[in-house]
Amino acid sequence: MTLSSYYFVMRLIKPSKKYEESWLEGLKEFEAEQRSGFWNVPDKPDSIDEYIQRCNDHSKGENLPEYWVPATTYWLIDTDEFIGHVNIRHTLNSQLTKIGGHIGYAIRPSKREVGYGTKILELALPKARKIGLQNALITCDSLNIASQKIIKKHRGKLQDTYEKENGESVCRYWISL
C-alpha cells in the first residue's frame, strides 16, 4: 500500500486540540516502541493544552529549555487524523549541528512505510524557507535507511557522518531551499 493508492487530504498544521484523540493514539504508539520525546518538549506534558502552549512559546523563542533554540512544530494531518509531527528549528546550536539539524520529523508507527515521511518533509521545506532558512541541515541515524532515502529524494546532499560518543553514527545532509 502506498500513498498513491488513495486520495488523501494532507496538510501541515500547528498542533490543535481538534485532533487530540488522534494525537493521543499516536503518542501511545510512540511510547509502545519506547520512543520518548516525540512531543518536542523536554518532558511529557500533562495535557494537550500545555503541549500547545509550549509549542507556541518555543516558536516565538519564549520559555525555551536550556540549550534549546526557537522551533516551530507542525502536525501532519491526513483528512482528520494525526499522522506525525515535524519540528523546524529556526537556528542551530553546536549540538544541533552534530545531531538534530534544522528539521526533525516522526511518523507514528501504524502509518509508516506508505510515503508519509516523504510527504511530511516535502511540506516542511517551504515552511523552513518561510522562516528564512536558505539551507536546511537534516540528520538521521546511519542505520535508518528509510530516512536516508527520504532526505535524498528531497535533494539532500550528504555532508558527512558524525560518530556519537556511544559509537553509533549520524548522517548529516544539507538541502538547499
Q: What is the pLDDT along the chain (177 residues), one digit of tens a residue?
A: 455 445 557 999 999 999 999 999 998 898 888 776 555 566 777 889 999 999 999 999 999 988 899 999 999 999 999 999 999 999 999 999 999 999 999 999 999 999 999 999 999 999 999 999 999 999 999 999 999 999 999 999 999 999 988 999 999 999 999
Q: Return the pLDDT at 8.
A: 56
Q: Return the pLDDT at 69.
A: 96
Measured distance CA(102)–CA(94) in Å, rounded = 12
Q: For residue 164, what are the contacts with CB-CB under 8 A and spacing of at least 6?
A: 99, 170
Measured distance CA(52)–CA(161) in Å, rounded = 34
For the chain, what is the total number of helices (H) and then of strands (E)?
5, 7
Q: Return the pLDDT at 39.
A: 58
Measured distance CA(15)–CA(13) in Å, rounded = 6
Q: What domains sit in the chain, N to C, each tagged with a CATH number?
A: 3-176 (3.40.630.30)
Q: Return the pLDDT at 5.
A: 44
Q: Which residues pair with 85 in a beta bridge?
A: 75, 106
Q: Return the pLDDT at 40.
A: 58
Q: Which helix (H) or strand (E) holds 152?
A: helix 145-153
